[in-house]
Amino acid sequence: MHLEFKEIEPIRSMNALLDLARLIAQIKGPKKVAVAAASEAHVIEAVNEARIEGLIQPILFGNPERIRKIATELGIQADNLEVHPARDPVEATVLATKAVASGEADILMKGLVHSSDFLRAALNKEWGLRTGKLLSHVLVFESKGYERLFFMSDGAMNINPDLKAKIQIVENAVTLAHALGIPRPKVALLAAVEVVNPEMETAVEDAIIAKMADRGQIKGATIDGPLALDNAVSLEAARIKGIQSPVAGKADILIVDNIDVGNVFYKSLIYFARVRGAGIIMGAKAPLVLTSRADPEEVKFLSLALAVILAERLPYVA
């Protein structure tokens, strides 16, 4: 059952996101999270913190001895953790994915397993979490000086999306913004420059998507592109460059062309700018928490909080 309040105040910071996740868990109880290959300290720490906060009930899949050893080293009482044994990270991922597909768990989280193995399990045609839609990754982050959250996609799943895939990447990010109470997010399709250079294939695609949005073929958002990152997020930069656009300087959602751009963007935010971020895969039968194996514990914890909100607010079908 979904939360009664369809309309929520727009979530504009990670603290507000956490408050909403706490409220949902308070009203509806903790969400069950199947953790694939859980033997990693940041994962166990994040999962345990979310458990103590009452946000989630973790179900760990992996090597029980290793998981209990890491937990004990972290000062966590291993008896509090439900562990299902698996021989290796791939088997752990298969079991965790099946637990979500069967409805035993509400959320799937990646632990110490390669992203490609984790995603292939989700995409498995027989027992995975496909819906017929494109699956794509969105990083939600906050940054000093901006009174809103940003959404960046796709820096972790779709390697080199074509026009059709890029439209679905936009739609998934828009769905996520809606779930966080942002009724009509502004989407910037990022490129190196804001002119439509016919030699830049992806910038031409951006212009097509922007036109499709103008004609109402993509709904629920204001979309423009190509835009360079500076004039997408800075009104001053947009003014200096004389750009007339309803998105310029005000973008909420930043869409990149391929996984390399997105992944470097993601990791620059986390490692250089030390922003608070949360990573999620959209488009599946359930929220999938996908962060990089080396991401800090806080990124994993915030990603779990985001997944709790989505598990409640999106019409997922197990």
> Which residues lie near ligand COD (CB under 6 A)?
115-116, 119-120, 123, 134-135, 156-159, 263, 292
Alpha helices in the chain (DSSP H): 14-28, 41-52, 64-73, 89-101, 115-123, 163-179, 201-214, 229-233, 235-240, 259-271, 297-313
Instruction: State in angstroms the smallest separation of the CB of 161 from ligand COD.
Output: 8
Q: Which of 26, 160 has the CB closer to ligand COD?
A: 160
Alpha helices in 181-277 (DSSP H): 201-214, 229-233, 235-240, 259-271
Q: Which of 78, 123 has the CB closer to ligand COD?
A: 123
Using an 8 Å Cβ cutoff, are 232 and 188 in contact? Answer: yes
Instruction: State in angstroms the smallest separation of the CB of 259 from ligand COD.
Output: 6
Q: Which of 86, 156 has the CB closer to ligand COD?
A: 156
Q: Which of 27, 159 has the CB closer to ligand COD?
A: 159
Instruction: State in angstroms the smallest separation of the CB of 17 from ligand COD.
Output: 21
Using an 8 Å Cβ cutoff, are 47 and 109 in contact? Answer: yes
Q: Which of 30, 283 has the CB closer to ligand COD?
A: 283
Question: From CA 220, how far away is CA 9, in angstroms rounded?
Answer: 17
Instruction: State in angstroms the smallest separation of the CB of 114 from ligand COD.
Output: 7
Using an 8 Å Cβ cutoff, are 33 and 109 in contact? Answer: yes
Question: From CA 225, how far away is CA 207, in angstroms rounded?
Answer: 6
Q: Which of 7, 126 has the CB closer to ligand COD?
A: 126
Q: Is the dihedral of CA 265, 271, 274, 279 positive or negative?
A: positive
Instruction: State in angstroms the smallest separation of the CB of 137 from ligand COD.
Output: 8
Instruction: State in angstroms the smallest separation of the CB of 151 from ligand COD.
Output: 17
Q: Which of 28, 267 has the CB closer to ligand COD?
A: 267
Q: Is the dihedral of CA 309, 313, 315, 317 positive or negative?
A: positive
Q: Please return the burial class of 293, using the count of CB atoms within 10 Å of its CB with bins 0-12, 13-18 and 19+.
A: middle
Amino acid residing at 140: V
Backbone angles phi, psi at 273, to 5 degrees: -90, -15
Q: Which of 68, 110 has the CB closer to ligand COD?
A: 110
Instruction: State in angstroms the smallest separation of the CB of 244 from ligand COD.
Output: 34
Question: From CA 268, how far away is CA 274, in angstroms rounded?
Answer: 8
Question: From CA 86, how far away is CA 41, in angstroms rounded?
Answer: 18
Instruction: State in angstroms the smallest separation of the CB of 106 from ligand COD.
Output: 20
